[in-house]
Amino acid sequence: MLPPVFGVLFDGLAYGMLLFVLSVGLTVTLGLMNFVNLAHCAFAMLGGYVTVTLMNRFGWPFLATLPVAFFAAALASVVLERTLYRRLYRASDLDQVLLTIGIAFISVAVAAYFFGTLQQPIQTPGFLRGSADFLGLALGKYRLFLVGVALVVTILLVAGLDYTRFGAQVRASVDNQRMARGLGIDVDRTFAVTFALGSGLAGLGGALAIDIVGLDPNFSFAFLVYVLIIVSVGGLGSIAGSFAAACLIGVSDIAGKYYFPELGAFLIYLVMVVVLMWRPAGLFGKR
């Protein structure tokens, strides 16, 4: 029989896995192009609403909506990248922050207009409801599913980065953009594709998040701070970094709520400030 603390740990890890799927796209695009995209979570929200619409309006099964959520978010990012983002690659940090925050604000209003401000419920499929017994702990099946999806995504990402030619181009561009261009790598196109992939993953994360945290127009901002913390603490451009940081934040958040509710998010902010002062590029970031 495992003590209840392991149950809390599992919940924290599951939450961390969700945060990882939400964050991984941002860390790669930030590491690649140093482009601060604060609208990242708006893509997640888009994915969430796609799933809600397909399920509640058109009766699609949950699992089938996931790839559509991914592609919808990826497509939206391509459109935005072509029209607005691409002019700002060499702009100042402030301009990038302002433009992308502006887009996030617009997304909140659009979502509120079409879907209202209340949380959107969905019916998770039967086989994902309830919990499985494991050494005396009741592990939520949906959470197990989350962990599974996140691990699959991680494996695919790592394999893609390490074994494909495109992955090599991404790694080269993250490492040294100037030299990558000099070697003939089309860094702008690499970025565009990576950006689409990352936003797509955010969309997937948004769809997956509905059952855990609920979906309303505020989603664009509710998780933005956590995602930014994960990306900066983990290290820009590092998948391993955001994986570790996401687990850390996920566990800290859930465990904090259980054991130290008076502290609130104070501990997480403090951890971020301390880590960034010690390692400005993040735990696994470029030195």
Partner 1 sequence: MSTSPLATNPQAYLQSASRWRPVEIVFWLATLLPFYLLPDYLSLASQIAITALFALSLDLILGYGGIVSLGHAAFFGIGAYSAAIFSKFVMGEPLVGLAAAAAVTGIAGFASSFIVARFRHFTLIMLTLGLGLLAQEAANRAHWLTGGSDGFQGADIWPVLGLFHFDLYGYTAYGYSLAALFVLFLAARRMISSPFGLALRGIRENWVRMPAIGAPSRAHIQKAYTIAAIMAGIAGALLTQTTQTAALESISFQRSADVVVMLVLGGAGRLYGGLVGAVIFMIARDQFSGIAPQYWYFWIGVLLVSVVTFLPNGILGGLSAIAARWRRK
Q: Which residues bind partner 1 (CB under 8 A)?
A: 30, 34, 36, 84, 87-88, 91, 93-95, 97-99, 101-110, 112, 117, 217, 225, 228-229, 232, 236, 262-266, 269-270, 272-273, 276-277, 280-281
**Residue 236 Cβ vs partner 1, minimum distance, rounded to whole Å:** 7
Give min distance, CB of 156 to partner 1, in A: 27
As measured in angstroms, the least distance from the Cβ of 280 to partner 1 is: 4
Burial of 149 (0-12, 13-18, 19+ CB in 10 A): middle
d(CA 224, CA 22): 9
Encoded tokens for 165: 């030619």
CB-wise, 166 or 266, nearer to partner 1?
Answer: 266
Q: Which residues contact 157 (CB under 8 A, 6 or more apart)?
A: 24, 239
**Smallest separation (angstroms) from partner 1 to the CB of 210:** 19
Nearer Cβ to partner 1 (88/128): 88
Task: Considering the complex, state which of residue 65 and residue 100 has its C-beta at the smaller distance from partner 1.
Answer: 100
Residue whose CB is less far from partner 1, 113 or 166: 113
Closest CB to partner 1 among residues 50, 227: 227
C-alpha closest to that of 204 among 240, 165, 156: 156
What is the spatial distance between Cα 287 and Cα 280, in angstroms, rounded to a whole number? 9
Task: Work out how close the CB of 99 gets to partner 1 at its nearest, in angstroms, rounded to a whole number.
Answer: 4
User: Letter for the amino acid at 263?
Assistant: L
Q: Are 233 and 245 in contact (CB under 8 A)?
A: yes
Question: How many other C-beta atoms can be found within 10 angstroms of the C-beta atom of residue 282?
Answer: 25
